[in-house]
Structure 1
Amino acid sequence: MGELEEAKAKAAAVYNAAADYFDHPVSSFWHRFGRRTVERLGLRAGETVLDVCCGSGGSALPAADAVGPQGKVVAVDLAERLIALGEAKARAEGLGNIEFKTGDMLALGYPDASFDVVVCVFGIFFVPDMVAATKELWRMVRPGGRLAITTWGPNLFEPANSAFWEAISAERPDLIKGFNPWERISTPEGLPEMLGEEGIENPKIVAEAGSHPIGSPNDWWLVAMGSGYRGTLAQLDTTTFARVRDRNLALLGQCAAITTNVVYGVAIK
């Protein structure tokens, strides 16, 4: 299996596993930042939108509402369980202008200039070659259309993130990650630099500092279970999992918030 295929299989497995906690109220930031991404785009009635790495619809659902019945949103994710969650929400909201589908953003097969807007929220860094992925998304944007890429800023989920990896290190140091791929684009300089490698010039970049409240350390654990950390936790046996959880929560103490800095990028073609 090549690097790309391995990355896709890993992402699908992790987020299919995380689907049981992905929409838990403690993880409402997925949808908050999805809405903010859409708000920055100024979507107009009748526009067509492609949302890749859509999760359970954090940006796709508000986009469908914004473009109205004459518009169309195609929402794509590798994790079929997240797609099922999104479909259920679209039905509950009576949105008939959105199509959820399981698929790979690098192989959707749409012609050049197929969409007014292409959106990728917290997803571009799952592909080993982010520039190649950006090129494929940019290809599908019509002239005058927009590409929106939203990524994490620095210090994601601190102090809980450091406590998590300290707890993992105590039990399974072989699982420690040396580098998170989003770190390359986690600054107002890094994201446009990556976009520039694809020839995308003068994107509008907004760095937003923020934090996400947690009512207790256990809330953090629910966030971890419904996010990319689940991939690491899935590799632990039952007793090790329990020890990691207990150590992580003990290290957090009375932590009341976790860092959620975000960088938004919007480019006009």
Structure 2
Amino acid sequence: GDMLSMRFPVASFDAVVCVFGIFFVPDMAMAVSELWSYIRSGGKLAVTTWGRNLFEPANDAFWCSIKDVRPELYKGFNPWDRIDNQASLRKILDEAGVASPKIIAENRLHPIKSTEDWWTIVLGSGYRGTIEQLNLAERQKVKEANLAFIRDEKISAVETNVLYALATKPQTANFK
């Protein structure tokens, strides 16, 4: 279902997890606030988002190849760019009323052992939505451009930087 149209009772869950999805929502603070409302006292909220430079150096080459065949599909901005660092993610969580979130940045590289590895990442990520809007000839041209970039630039890894946010809902007094 749509995370903006969930209708769960308040304090329904011990944990709510949103993995690489909150950045797709226009009003992230509102969405996080709603997720936070579903958590019971003492429960946990976990949110992940991509950090800066996702899939670089191949990301820029991918979007340039898209621009070459279908300029209207080109994205100079990715939705996760709005919260790709600890300060911007913390701001959203604060606006949502999330209590004392712990945010951890993890900078990593994903190995690219062959040119096809990059194409597998493309098709296994949100970039697939862009690829699926291309006709067969355009897809082939984009694929060839990407594989050539990986080969010619001798790319052996792409950045896969992640931010993890974890918060525990404060305990409320339980008077009887």
TM-score where L is the length of structure 1? 0.60
Is 2:57 aligned against 1:159?
yes
Structure 1 residues 11-22: aligned runs within 5 Å: none
8 Å Cα contact 1:158/1:259 also seen in 2? yes
Is 2:168 aligned against 1:268?
yes
Q: Could you tell me how far apart the structure 1 residues matched to 2:143 and 2:67 are?
A: 12
Q: Could you tell me how far apart the structure 1 residues matched to 2:119 and 2:41 are?
A: 44
Whose relative contact order is higher, 1 or 2, with alpha carbons under 8 Å and at least 6 apart?
2
SS at match of 1:183: helix
Structure 1 residues 250-265: aligned runs within 5 Å: 250-253=148-151, 254-265=154-165
Q: Corresponding residue for 1:245?
A: 143
Segments ≥4 residues shifted beyond 4 Å: none
TM-superposed deviation, 1:108:
2.7
Aligned residues: 167
Larger radius of gyration: 2
Q: Which amino acid aligns with 1:130?
A: M
SS at match of 2:15: strand
TM-score where L is the length of structure 2? 0.90
TM-superposed deviation, 1:214:
1.8
Q: Corresponding residue for 1:148?
A: 46
Q: Which amino acid aligns with 1:132?
A: M
Is 2:86 aligned against 1:188?
yes
Q: Which amino acid aligns with 1:213?
A: P
8 Å Cα contact 1:159/1:258 also seen in 2? yes
Is 2:8 aligned against 1:113?
no
Q: Corresponding residue for 1:173?
A: 71
Output one character per residue of 1:157-215: Cα deviation in whole Å (capped at 9) or x when no partner. Answer: 11111110111122111111132121111101111111111122421010001011121
8 Å Cα contact 2:44/2:168 also seen in 1? yes
Q: Which amino acid aligns with 1:255?
A: I
Q: Corresponding residue for 1:197?
A: 95
Output one character per residue of 1:201-247: Cα deviation in whole Å (capped at 9) or x when no partner. Answer: 42101000101112112111011112111111111111111111101
Q: Could you tell me how far apart the structure 2 residues matched to 1:121 and 1:110 are?
A: 19
8 Å Cα contact 1:166/1:248 also seen in 2? no
SS at match of 1:247: helix
5+ residue gaps, structure 1, are: 1-102
Q: Could you tell me how far apart the structure 2 residues matched to 1:196 and 1:159 are?
A: 32
8 Å Cα contact 1:209/1:260 also seen in 2? yes
8 Å Cα contact 2:16/2:35 also seen in 1? yes
5+ residue gaps, structure 2, are: 170-176
Q: Could you tell me how far apart the structure 2 residues matched to 1:143 and 1:201 are?
A: 11
RMSD (CA atoms): 1.2
Q: Could you tell me how far apart the structure 1 residues matched to 2:158 and 2:117 are?
A: 10
Q: Corresponding residue for 1:90?
A: none
Is 2:119 aligned against 1:221?
yes
Q: Percent identity?
A: 56
